[in-house]
């Protein structure tokens, strides 16, 4: 298995990060394309081989704002989408319109709408799962896959709702189960979207993550409470300015949270839909980058250890020391360097 590389902490101050960011080769271009969702909003920069960037929860295309210019400067056509249910993309009403198979079809529609035959797909958080499923189901289109924060685990195993229902004690509820119930999380989040997002981002960021012994950062709801009851308060992570938080919050204040949360409400449907691919590896060239402090990499460490079998085309698996969950925003220089170096190998 390719050796995991640990990159040092602390990361450079923001002034140094800005000084070494590449100059954009073109301006950002906003577009709307037709897709099974109805419409998909995307932002693109640069020319060259297509790199499709897929965000996670609770984000938007904007979470890739520091990757678009770097990839464009390296000679790529970088395209960041708003996944269906987010931002300026369509938001179907039916809960089952957010199953994984539909999101994969959206990715295919983007590639076709852009006049391309193939793409490298890179995803973060839920986007990592969408990217992996796209590569698994359509290797003829998605010629390589980059996974950030959430490791690849092949379809199969126990039903997801059964797994999550066993996490926690008799008076505890795992956050995934909490989010699966329609309208429940919306009632908590939507009265104060900005404050909720600030706490959610802080709870999984390296520099604002609760210390051991403080309220559990792993999102267990206790005693019929709310998720936000255990969030850090009054502090933003270093990677997030007030203005950037306003952009993130503005997207959800306009659209509401239901489309984004419906991804969690389809996990059992995905398990059924992908059953024919039980245990299937992704054979295309692949890359994994995770944060050493991210719960996703600790909970799923067995999935990372299984990469020689599940990702036989893996180029490298990187864990960034001292990094939390929002990896491409927390450590943009390192992520940009790892992505562009890997993409360069795909051109040979």
Distance CA 162, CA 160 (A): 5
Q: Which of 106, 125, 273, 294 is catalytic?
A: 125
Question: Residue 325 catalytic?
Answer: yes
Q: Is 318 a catalytic residue?
A: no
Evaluate whether 74 touches 342 at the Cβ level (below 8 Å): no
Q: Which two tokens stand for residue 22?
A: 């590449």
| CB-CB contact of 228 with 194 (8 Å) | no
CB atoms within 10 A of CB 272: 12
Q: 1 by DSSP, 3-state: which? A: coil
Please name the residues in contact with 215: beta carbons below 8 A apart, sequence gap of 6 or more. Answer: 229, 230
CB under 8 Å to 112, separation ≥6 — which residues? none
Write down the catalytic residue from 11, 41, 124, 325: 325
Report CA-CA distances (Å) from 235 to 39, 199, 201, 208, 241: 36, 8, 10, 7, 11
Distance CA 139, CA 141 (A): 5
User: Is the bond preceding 196 in cis, omega lying within 30 degrees of 0?
Assistant: no
Backbone angles phi, psi at 37, to 5 degrees: -65, -20
Instruction: Please check whether residue 186 is in contact with residue 180, taking contact to mean a CB–CB distance below 8 angstroms.
Output: no
Q: Which residues are catalytic?
A: 125, 325
């Amino acid at each position: 298995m390719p050796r995991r590389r640990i990159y040092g902490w602390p990361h450079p101050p923001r002034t140094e990060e800005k000084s070494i960011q590449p100059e954009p080769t073109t301006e950002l271009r906003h577009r709307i394309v037709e897709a099974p969702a109805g419409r998909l909003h995307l932002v693109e920069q640069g020319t060259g081989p297509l790199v499709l960037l897929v965000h996670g929860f609770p984000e938007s295309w904007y979470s890739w704002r520091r990757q678009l210019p770097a990839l464009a400067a390296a000679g790529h056509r970088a395209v960041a989408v708003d996944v269906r249910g987010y931002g300026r993309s369509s938001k179907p009403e039916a809960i089952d319109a957010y199953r994984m198979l539909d999101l994969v079809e959206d990715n295919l529609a983007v590639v076709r709408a852009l006049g391309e035959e193939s793409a490298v797909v890179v995803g973060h958080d839920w986007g990592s799962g969408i990217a992996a499923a796209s590569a698994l189901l359509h290797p003829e289109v998605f010629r390589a896959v980059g996974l950030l924060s959430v490791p690849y685990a092949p379809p199969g195993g126990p039903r997801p709702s059964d797994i999550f229902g066993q996490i926690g004690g008799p008076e505890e509820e795992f956050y995934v189960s909490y989010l699966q119930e329609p309208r429940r999380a919306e009632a908590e989040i939507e009265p104060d979207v900005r404050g909720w997002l600030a706490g959610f981002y802080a709870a999984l960021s390296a520099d604002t993550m609760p210390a051991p012994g403080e309220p559990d950062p792993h999102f267990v709801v206790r005693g019929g409470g709310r998720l936000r009851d255990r969030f850090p308060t009054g502090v933003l992570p270093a990677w997030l300015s007030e203005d950037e938080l306003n952009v993130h919050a503005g997207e959800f204040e306009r659209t509401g949270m239901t489309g984004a949360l419906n991804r969690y409400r389809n996990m059992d449907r995905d398990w059924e839909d992908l059953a024919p691919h039980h245990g299937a590896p992704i054979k295309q060239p692949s890359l994994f980058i995770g944060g050493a402090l991210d719960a996703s990499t600790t909970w799923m460490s067995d999935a990372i250890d299984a990469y020689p079998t599940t990702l036989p085309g893996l180029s490298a698996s990187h864990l960034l020391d001292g990094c939390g969950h929002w990896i491409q925003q927390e450590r943009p220089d390192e992520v940009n360097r790892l992505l562009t170096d890997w993409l360069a190998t795909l051109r040979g």
